[in-house]
Amino acid sequence: MFYLFQLLLLLINIDQKTVLNWFGLEDPKIQTSYPIIENSLEFDTSNIEISTDVSFETFRIILEGFWNKLQNGLTLSDIENVLFLILFLRFVILAIRYNLKTSFYITCIGLFAGYLWYRHLIDLISMYRSVLLKLPFLNSLGMDAVQMRSLNRQMAFTDVKIGENSHWYNPVQIIYYALTRGIIHTDSETGLRYYIDPISMVISNLPEPSKSNIAPVYYKIYNTIIPKIGDICSKFWSQLSGVAAYALITRIGKRYCPYLVRWHWTFLIIIGMIEQIFIYFIYRVSYFQSFVLIPQSEFSNNSVDSNLFLQISLLNWILGCVVLTHIGFIIFGLFHAICGQYFYFPFFVENTELHIGQRPKDSIYSGGQTAWQDQKQKTNTLLFPKLWFGWFGSGSKEDLNVFKNILRLMKKLLKKIKK
């Protein structure tokens, strides 16, 4: 296994240029130091430096590049780049700590748990796309959601090349494209389409009397009946896929499903019931603003314009706060899942663990810490429950209850005032 790890490292030269290309960034020194020379056949290459190794300068360039990108708006590609960087670094650290096999398993578990949050993030962005277009920092996410929606409509009504526009988070679409691309062959000269799967090749090689009777029935089943059955199954599966997959993997296959995946999946299903309230609230506020207040402000008198503009600006502020809080919370859970960690949120975590039980502490595949499951660290007060259990749920040496900290600060201030 150690030689395999060395081979994987030798296949890719991990230097500063490779890392920057991964994030779509360029070294600013190379951009400014070597301008393009036109109308010249001679170019002195003696002063060109080879790409340096990964160092703190590389991370500084990455942070500056991300800061410049964030000023233009956050996009899905930026989130994906950060997630895959975390996965790679985590894989390397775990491989050094354990071995390649254990590191691969733990990384895959975190990837699957993060995949659940990322799919939920995409669904949430597609729902909030009209509101995201109005927000300065998240309008790029709204544009991504609009592009994905238009692409899905185009693929639903036209025969486009699905695989060229598929993403990693939709593996079924990629597999379907691979199968259809491998089966169907189009002649470049005549434009005719040929099926080169084994069954079609057997039908084409049948003797003529049998072929003329079997081929029409076969192609009718192949071109008409099977696609209709596929459409019916896809619509049925789209309605029940989430619940069916959850029951199959986390309930029936509980023995083989890691605790980290079951915890995050159950948590997502539970918060989905509460999320509908905020989603429909945003829909109603956006509809009231776009179709009631804005038309009235365009055709109203100057005496009531100020009142309408105040209402519109107030609703913009409410929409921005709710959407930012909701998306920020989903990204917060996404990064915890990718890192194989847990987090505490009152009421939802307790209900999640009522369904799946407590974390097994004797397995290295169960993820990070869950300090709230320890009976000694649980609070007995119902009015002021403990809201934070240390970083990544790992607990802390001191009791970091918010209200106890406030009382401590007040006592210190009173002592200083007395002195």
Tens of each residue's pLDDT in the chain, 419 residues: 443 444 444 455 666 676 667 666 666 665 544 444 444 445 454 454 555 666 667 777 777 776 776 667 778 888 888 898 899 889 999 999 899 999 999 999 999 999 999 999 998 998 898 888 888 778 888 888 888 777 666 555 444 444 555 555 566 666 766 666 667 766 667 666 666 767 777 777 778 777 778 888 887 887 788 778 877 877 777 777 777 788 888 888 888 899 999 999 999 999 988 998 999 999 999 888 888 888 877 776 555 567 788 888 899 899 989 999 999 999 999 999 999 999 998 889 989 999 898 898 888 898 888 888 875 545 554 456 677 777 787 776 544 444 565 667 677 777 777 77
Please count the other Cβ atoms lying within 10 Å of the Cβ belonging to residue 261: 20
- Paired residues of 185 in beta bridges: 194
For 185, phi and psi rounded to 5 degrees? -120, 130
Please count the other Cβ atoms lying within 10 Å of the Cβ belonging to residue 270: 18
Closest CA to 176 of 192, 200, 160: 160
> What does the DSSP assignment read for 240-278?
HHHHHHHIIIIIITTTTS-HHHHHHHHHHHHHHHHHHHH
Cα Rg, the chain, nearest whole Å? 28
Q: Are 132 and 145 in contact (CB under 8 A)?
A: yes
Three-class DSSP category at 97: helix
Please count the other Cβ atoms lying within 10 Å of the Cβ belonging to residue 143: 16
Looking at residue 197, the DSSP 8-state letter turns out to be S
Residue 48: is it exposed, middle or buried by C-beta count within 10 angstroms (0-12/13-18/19+)?
exposed
The model carries a pTM of 0.69
Retrieve residue 228's tokens.
């209709």
